[in-house]
Amino acid sequence: MLSRDSTHPAWVVCLSLLGVCPARAELLIPGDVRLRHDVQLLADAGIIDAPVTGWPVFLADLNIAANAHEGLDPGATAALQRVFPAHEVIDRLRLEASAGGISEPQRFRSFQDTPREQAELSARLAGTRGRLAFDLTATWVDDPLDQQAWRADGSYAGFAFGNWFAAISATDRWWGPGWDGSLALSSSARPIPAITLQRRRALRPGSRWLRWVGPWTMQVLSGQLESDRDVPNARLFGWRFGFKPLPRLEIGLTRTAQWCGDGRPCDFDTFLDLLSGIRDNPQDSATRENDPGNQLAGFDLRFAFHGLGRPWGFYSQWIGEDEANGLPSAHLAQLGLETWGTRRGGGSYRVHAEYSETTCSALTDSDPNFRCAYNHTIYTGGYRYRGRAIGHSMDGDGVMLSVGGLWVGARGNTWQVLGRRIEVNRSDDPRNTVSPLKQDVYTLEASHTRDFGFAELTVGLGHEVGEFTQTGVDFDETRVFANWIWRVSDGY
C-alpha cells in the first residue's frame, strides 16, 4: 500500500486532485503491447473505468478512480507510473528518431508493432499546444512491397472541442479485445488516411434512463483508400461505440463499410442507405448496382472474473459479413481467454489463448460459406488495403489458434512469446493476400524490449514452418527483426 504522508509522488497528487492535473493530450496508438497490458491491468484493477478495447485510446478517456492510489500493489503501481509519468509536462514537444528492419515481411501481425519492410528510418515530432495536438512521423523504407518508399504512417493532427477530438489521421486502429487479431479493423494493413472524430472522456450519460450504459466512448472515421484498386478512390467508413454497463464488462459495437469511389454513387442518400442497411447485399442481380457498399458489422465483449484463486478475462468478437432482417449475419468469430498477475518486485505478466475463424458463418453453421469473408461482388478487390486485409491478418477462410505470454519488469523491460497454429485460405481463394493456396502453418515468435531511458531497443526472432496442402510441398522460414528508438528530446 502506498504511503499516505506528504511525500507522495506527483502522480499520486494528481490522482487525488483529479481534474487539477490534466492528462497528456495525445492518442495512445496501437502497437505498444506493454502499454496495452498496463492499461488493461489498471482497468481490471478498477483504477480506470473507461472502455479500453477500441484503439487508439484518447488518454483523457482514462478516468482515474478517486481512491486509485489506495492499496495498489507494486505491479499496478509500476503500470500506473508508466501510463501517467510523474515528470509529465503538458504542452511539450517530443522528438524521436528510429531505425528498424526485418529479414522477411511478417505475414501474420498481432497487436505488437513490428517493421513492415526490410529497412525503415523514421523521424517523429509530437506535441500539444492548448487544444491542438499533433504527432507527425516521416518514414523512409527500402524496397517497399507497395512501391510507397515515403510514408506518414502513425501521424495525426487535430484539435479538441468540448468533449471531442477531430483529426486528420494516418494511424493504426485496433477495434476489438483480441491480442493476435481483430476481425473488423486491425493493424494488418498499413494505416488508412482518414478524417476522424473521437470522444475524449468516457463519461456516463446524463440521463437517468441511460445511466445503465456506464462510461462510453465513440470513434468515427472517413478514410480514403488507394487509387490503383478495382474501384479507384473508394472510401472507408468506420464507427465504434464502446461502453461498460458493469465494471467488469465491456461491450463494443462496430460498423465499417467500403463505399463511394470512381463510378460509384457518393451522394448523401447513398450514405443514408449505407447507414440503414436497407439495400445491403441485394439478391436480385438487377438491383445489385444499388448496393451502397461492402459492409461489416458486429459486436465484441470482454468480461473479467475471478476463479481458481486468480483473475480471468473472457473475450469474444462476432463480425457479420452479410445482413439478414436488418441484423448482421454470416459472422466471423473470435474467442479468447486470458489471465494476468503482478509480483512484489513491481513486475506483471499476462497469458492468453485465442481462437479466430475468418469464414462466414464460422462456428454457427455446419456448412460454412467459403470465399465470402472480406470479398464483395462490386468492390472486387475486397476488404483490403495495399495488399493486406483490413481485418484479421490471415485474410478470409482462415483458422488461427494462438497462445501467448508477456512479462513486464518493474522498469518496463518486456519479454513476449507467441505460438500459433494456422489454417490459411481453406478455400484456395486466389484473392487471399497471405497465400493463393491452402496452407497449414505453425509459427513461434519471441521478442524483447529494453528501455534505456533515452532510447528503447526491441529485438525479435520468429520461425515459421508449414505445408501447401494440395501439393504437399513444405516450407521453413526464420525471420529476425530489430527496432531502435532514440528519444532526441522528451519535451520542455
Domains, in order of start, for the chain:
10-489 (2.40.160.130)
Quote the CA–CA distance of 217 and 215 in Å, as a whole number. Answer: 7
- What is the per-residue pLDDT for 233? 94
User: Residue 10: its pLDDT value, please?
Assistant: 40
Whether 131 contacts 161, CB under 8 Å: yes
Q: Where does residue 419 rank: exposed (0-12), middle (13-18), buried (19+ CB within 10 A)?
A: middle
Q: Which residues of the chain have pLDDT under 70?
A: 1-25, 63, 65-70, 86-91, 277-290, 324-326, 490-492
Tell me what pLDDT residue 219 has.
96
Q: Which of 448, 374, 369 is nearest to 416 (CA)?
A: 448
The pLDDT value recorded for residue 8 is 40
Contact 383, 296 (CB under 8 A): yes
Spatial neighbors of 322 by CB under 8 A, at least 6 apart, are 280, 281, 328, 329, 330, 360, 372
- Per-residue pLDDT at 441: 96
Burial label for 389, CB within 10 Å (0-12, 13-18, 19+), is buried
**Residue 90: per-residue pLDDT:** 56
Q: Specify the pairing of strand 474-489 against strand 174-175.
A: unpaired
Q: Which three cell numbers stand for residue 263?
A: 463510378
- The rounded distance, in Å, linking the Cα atoms of 1 and 10 is 17
pLDDT in tens, 234-289: 999 999 999 999 999 999 999 999 999 999 998 888 888 888 766 655 555 445 56
Q: What is the dihedral of CA 195, 196, 197, 199, to 10 degrees?
A: -160
Closest CA to 392 of 146, 246, 197, 179: 179
β-pair partners for 17: none
